[in-house]
Amino acid sequence: MNIGTEQRQDLIQTLNSFKNKKVLIIGDVGLDEYVMGDVRRISPEAPVPVVEVTEEDKRLGLAANVAQNVSSLGGIPLMVGVVGRDVGATTLQEICHKANVSWDYMVHSERRPTTRKMRIMTGPHHIVRVDYEMRKYLSPETEAKVIHRINEVIGQADVVILQDYNKGVISQNLVKQTVEISKKHGKKLLVDPTRANPGEFYYGVDLIKPNYEESVALSGLKFDELRENPNKVLEVGRALQKKTGAKEVVLTRGKEGMTIFSGDKVDQVPTFARKVFDVTGAGDTVIAAISLGVAAQLPLVKSCTIANFAAGVVVGKVGCVPCEIPELKEYIQTAHGG
C-alpha cells in the first residue's frame, strides 16, 4: 500500500470530518504521574540510584488518555469511568477540564482509590513505576451507577468505545449491558481489549482492536506456534471474529503495521513511525482516531491509515501525550512509510 502525495492530501482534508464528532469512552481511567531527574550517585542506604528531582508532571492516563486524544483530534469525548474520593480524582478532574474532556458522567466510589501510575525517570529511562490501584471488579451498586450513566449519555454519542485495562470497570456483565444499550440506540461499539480475558468476554461488539500478543491470547491459539509462523495472523483474526462476533478486527502489529479484517476482506496498513522513544499510549491514540473515523463514516482502512500516522506522532514522545491536529497534518505530509 503506497501513500502518494494526492492520497496524503486527501487524508489531511479528511481530518476535517472528525470535528465535533462525539465519542463515548467507557472504561478504566487513571492519572499518570512523572517524576524526572538526574542520577549522579548510588544511595548509601541501599544499592539503588538516587534521583535528584528536576521536574514533575501529571497527565491523563488509561481511558482518560483516549478521551484527550479524541479531543485533540477535533472530536468531543464523553467519558464514563470510576474514581475514588481522593486527591487523585481532584487532580484528574482538573486536567480533564484543561484538556476539554467532560467530567459530567464520572462515577465516584467510596471503596476504590483513583488509579494512579507514578513513573520515576532519568532522561527517557524508567527507574521504577509505582502503582496506586484496586484491580478487582466494581461492586454491584457501583456497576449499576456506571450502566445508568451509559444509558444517560449514549443518545448523544456517534460511536462508543469500551476501553479495558483490566482494572475492574469492564466486567462481562458491563460488556453485555453495553452491547444491548448500543444496539438499542443504533450505535457502533468498539473495544480495546485486555489479553487477560478470552475473546468470548467481548461477544457482541462491532469492532475489536487488540495488539498482536493480545490477539493470540484472546483467540485461544498457541502463541509460540504463531510467533514462529507470522502467516498465521490470518488464523488469529478469523478466530477473533468468530469468538467475539465482531465483523471487524483491527490487529496492530508494531513495525508490521495493521492487519484489518472486515467481514471476509483482509487489508494491510503500514506503519509510519520515524523514531520510537516510548510506545506508552500509542494504542490509545489509535483507538481514538479509529473511533472518529467510524463516527465520520469513513472506510475502515482510511481510518486505520490516519490512526497509524497519529501513532507515529506520539511514539516519538515520552509518556502519554495526545496527538494534535497540526502536528498530525505535518506528519502525514512528511513521514516515510507505505
Any idea which residues carry the catalytic annotation?
284
Chain centre distance of CA 274: 21
What are the φ/ψ torsions at residue 32 (nearest 5 degrees)? Answer: -100, 125
Give the Å distances, CA to CA, from 147 to 93, 104, 121, 133, 311. Answer: 21, 14, 38, 22, 31
Which contacts qualify for 326-330: CB closer than 8 Å, 24 or more apart?
Answer: 328/15, 328/73, 329/12, 329/15
Which residue, 94, 61, 163, 125, is CA-closest to 318? 125
For residue 24, the SS3 value is strand
Q: What's the one-letter identity of residue 278?
A: D
β-bridge partners, 45: none
| Interior/surface letters 188-210, b for 16+ CB within 10 angstroms, e for the rest | bbbbbbbbebbbebbebbbbbbb
Per the DSSP assignment, residues forming a β-bridge with 306 are none
Residue 330, number of CB atoms within 10 A of its CB: 13
Residue 178: count other Cβ atoms within 10 Å of its Cβ: 27
- Nine-digit cell string for 95: 486536567
Listing DSSP states for 247-300 in one string gives: SEEEEE-GGG-EEEEETTEEEEE----S--S--TTHHHHHHHHHHHHHHTT--H
